[in-house]
Structure 1
Amino acid sequence: MSMTRDAGADERPNFGTHESAVAEDANRPRLAWKKEQLRVWDLLHLSTPWLLLAVSTTTYFLWVLPASGERFRLSVLGLVAAAALWVLFGHTLPIRKRTLRPVPAGIFFAGLLALCVALMTYSEIFLVFTIAGFFHAYLLRPWPLGVLGVLATSVALNGAAMRVWAGATPATLAEFILIVAVQTAAIGVGIVLTARSEPEERKREELVERLEAALHENAGLHAQLVAQARESGAHDERQRLAREIHDTLAQGLAGIITQLQAASAKVPGETEEHVARALRLARSSLTEARRSVQALAPQELGRAHLPDALRTLTERWSEDHGIGARLEVTGTREPLIPAIEVSLFRVAQESLTNVAKHAEASRVGVTLSYTGTEVLLDVRDDGRGFVTGASTGFGLTSMRQRIRGVGGHVEVQSAPGEGTAVSARVPAIAPARTRTEGQTGR
Structure 2
Amino acid sequence: MTAAARFPSRRTPSPHADRSAGPRPRPDLDALTGLRSGKPSFYSEYRVNAERLRRVIGSLDRISAALVRTMEGSEALVRAVADAAADHLSADWVVLALVDGELTDAVPRHVVIGPDGVEWADLRMVPDRVRRHIALLQGGTGAEDDSGRRHLHVPIRLNGRTVGGFVAWTPPDREIDDTDHSVLRILAGQTASALQNCALLDRAERLHARTAAQAEDLRTRNDELMRTQQALGAARQREVLDNERHRIARELHDSVTQYALSAGMHIELCRSEIDDPRLLEHLSTAKDLTRRAVEQLRSAIYALNDDDHADKDLPSMLRQLSTVHMPDELRVEVTIGGTPTALPHEHEQSLFRIAGEALFNTAMHASASRAVVRLAYQPDRVRLSISDDGGASPDQIRRTLRAASVRGPSGEHRGLVNMDARAREMGGTLRFRRSRIGGLQVQVDVPSGAAGREIP
Q: TM-score of the superposition, structure 2-length normalised?
A: 0.35
The structure whose residues are more often helix, as a share, is: 1
Structure with greater contact order relative to length (CA < 8 Å, sep ≥ 6): 1
Q: TM-score of the superposition, structure 1-length normalised?
A: 0.36
The structure whose residues are more often strand, as a share, is: 2
